[in-house]
Amino acid sequence: MAGEKTISPNFEASLEELERIVKELEKGDLPLEQSLTLFESG
């Protein structure tokens, strides 16, 4: 398809991981230390 940009697999994997982290943090049932660790990795 003309004009479409391809997204690298690394970007897609990183985006999926970030979405998973955000969902975990939004639940709000994690201990503070685990929340901070996830926040720092995201």
| Domain range list for the chain | 10-41
Between residues 6 and 38, which one has the greater pLDDT? 38
List Cβ neighbours of 32 (8 Å cut-off, separation of 6 or more). Answer: none
Kindly report whether the global pTM for this prediction surpasses the value 0.85.
no
**How sure is the predictor about 8, in pLDDT bands with cuts at 50, 70 and 90?**
confident
- SS3 string, the chain, reads CCCCCCCCHHHHHHHHHHHHHHHHHHHCCCCHHHHHHHHHHC
What's the CA angle centered on 34, arms 14 and 28, to 5 degrees? Answer: 90
